[in-house]
């Protein structure tokens, strides 16, 4: 194996690792966001876990974070809890930072 092949394999391994880490951060952030919303909705701990899993799955139903955002906003507005879109976006940013910290140990 040449030096170029070794470098290429190293870059591919790093790319795969980085993609895996970002996936885990996103999934953790979505779970944290689901738990935040479940708290706003007054759910029991068991229902909160189920709801958080549904929020994680919402990432795959619609492209990117908008599926998660739409689910949270819709669920909160149905209950007329007075939570704004900006509140949800702020919670999304906070949970993303917290998830990154939990997974990587950095802010």
Q: What is the pLDDT of residues 25-69, one digit of tens each?
A: 999 999 999 999 999 999 999 999 999 999 998 888 877 788 899
**pLDDT number for residue 87:** 94
DSSP class of residue 105?
A: S
Q: What is the pLDDT of residue 106?
A: 64
H-helix or E-strand containing 9? Answer: helix 3-41
Which pTM does this prediction carry? 0.83
DSSP state of 62: S
Q: How many whole angstroms separate alpha carbon 59 and alpha carbon 52?
A: 12
Alpha-carbon distance of 96 to 90, in angstroms, equals 10
For 97, the domain range is: 3-104
Question: What is the C-alpha to C-alpha distance for residues 107 and 102, in angstroms, rounded to an integer?
Answer: 9
Please state the domain count of the chain. Answer: 1
On the CB side of 44, how many CA atoms lie within 13 Å of its CA?
A: 2
């Amino acid at each position: 194996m040449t030096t170029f092949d070794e470098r290429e394999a190293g870059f591919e391994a790093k790319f795969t690792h980085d993609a895996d880490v970002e996936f885990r951060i996103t999934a953790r952030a979505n779970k944290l966001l689901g738990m935040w919303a479940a708290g706003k909705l007054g759910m029991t701990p068991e229902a909160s876990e189920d709801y958080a899993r549904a929020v994680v799955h919402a990432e795959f139903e619609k492209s990117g974070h908008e599926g998660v955002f739409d689910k949270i906003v819709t669920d909160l507005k149905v209950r007329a809890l007075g939570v704004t879109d900006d509140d949800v976006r702020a919670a999304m940013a906070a949970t993303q930072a917290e998830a990154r910290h939990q997974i990587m140990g950095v802010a």
